[in-house]
């Protein structure tokens, strides 16, 4: 699964890396402990719309947007369930009512400097941080949705609370690959740069051969580019936020060291 990650890079750097236009309006700030329900930066592609809201099928715009982590389906009565839907399993997303519409046409990338996962032992819960050794962003495959409040029979004034609606996202997860499985049996679905164009294309659905091929475990070669290191349990508290969260924990403080290191490998193409 994916329940925390780090998103440190400035929007200008992310826009350059993902070949997108920055539409975050300066909202994004460095966050070393991104947690569910926070605003997160996402890369999306959409057809631009005219003044009447009609999309132009001949053009596609790739932008950086701020979304809330925790997907709220468009048909939800309220937004309270978003905090529980931070992840979607690739094996079942196409069948789940909460995710299948987004998988068809509203896929996104959530750029991360790295993500945290917890190794659970009999008497410990050790966090690990996974990142690319060359410092490039990890492209977490995600889904996004737009939710607009309806008339609420319980009397809540949701339209006043969310006058512009709510745009939310979740992270797709898959079976862990290689040494990552020593920490947890699940991991985020990570996309190499060669997959970004097909994944973001709003005109390609999950039945498209190129998109369907991406709904699989990352390759061992891609995972080999990553480093996995134990970090301080301070990351467990969402109120802790700073670069020290990424520091490697001294070996003597690691309850159950991993048996196999991740080694740097070739860049993905």
117 flagged as catalytic: yes
Catalytic one of 108, 117, 145, 170: 117
Indicate the burial class of 46 (C-beta count within 10 angstroms; 0-12, 13-18, 19 or more).
middle
Catalytic one of 2, 108, 145, 170: 2
Q: Could you give the CA distance from residue 42 to residue 53 in angstroms, rounded to a whole number?
A: 22
145 flagged as catalytic: no
Helices H / strands E in the chain, number of each: 6, 14
Q: Could you give the CA distance from residue 209 to residue 198 in angstroms, rounded to a whole number?
A: 10
Q: Could you give the CA distance from residue 38 to residue 68 in angstroms, rounded to a whole number?
A: 6
Helical (H) or strand (E) element with 220 = helix 220-223
User: For the chain, where are the E strands, in sequence order?
Assistant: 4-7, 21-22, 31-34, 39-46, 61-69, 87-89, 107-112, 114-120, 125-132, 138-147, 166-175, 186-188, 190-191, 226-230
Q: Which residues are catalytically annotated? A: 2, 117
């Amino acid at each position: 699964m994916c329940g925390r990650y780090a998103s440190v890079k400035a929007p200008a750097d992310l826009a350059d890396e993902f070949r997108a236009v920055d539409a975050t309006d300066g909202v994004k700030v460095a966050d070393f402990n991104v947690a569910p329900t926070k605003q997160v930066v996402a890369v999306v592609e959409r057809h631009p719309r005219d003044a009447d809201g009609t999309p132009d099928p001949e053009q596609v715009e790739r932008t950086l947007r701020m979304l809330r982590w925790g997907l709220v389906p468009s048909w939800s009565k309220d937004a309270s369930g978003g905090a529980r839907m931070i992840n979607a399993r690739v094996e079942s997303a196409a069948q789940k009512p909460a995710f299948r519409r987004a998988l068809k046409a509203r896929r996104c990338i959530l750029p991360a400097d790295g993500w945290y996962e917890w190794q659970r032992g009999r008497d410990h819960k050790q966090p690990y941080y996974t990142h690319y050794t060359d410092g490039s962003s990890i492209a977490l495959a995600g889904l996004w949705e737009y939710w607009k409040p309806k008339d609420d029979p319980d009397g809540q004034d949701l339209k006043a609370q969310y006058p512009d609606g709510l745009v939310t996202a979740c992270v797709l997860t898959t079976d862990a690959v290689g040494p990552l499985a020593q920490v947890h049996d699940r991991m985020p679905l990570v996309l190499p740069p060669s997959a970004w164009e097909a994944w973001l294309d709003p005109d390609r659905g999950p039945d498209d051969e190129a998109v369907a091929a991406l709904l699989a475990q990352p390759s061992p070669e891609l995972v080999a580019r990553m480093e996995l290191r134990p970090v301080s349990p301070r990351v467990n508290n969402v109120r802790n936020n700073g670069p020290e969260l990424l520091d490697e924990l001294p070996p003597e403080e690691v309850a159950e060291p991993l048996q196999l290191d991740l080694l740097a490998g070739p860049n993905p193409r």
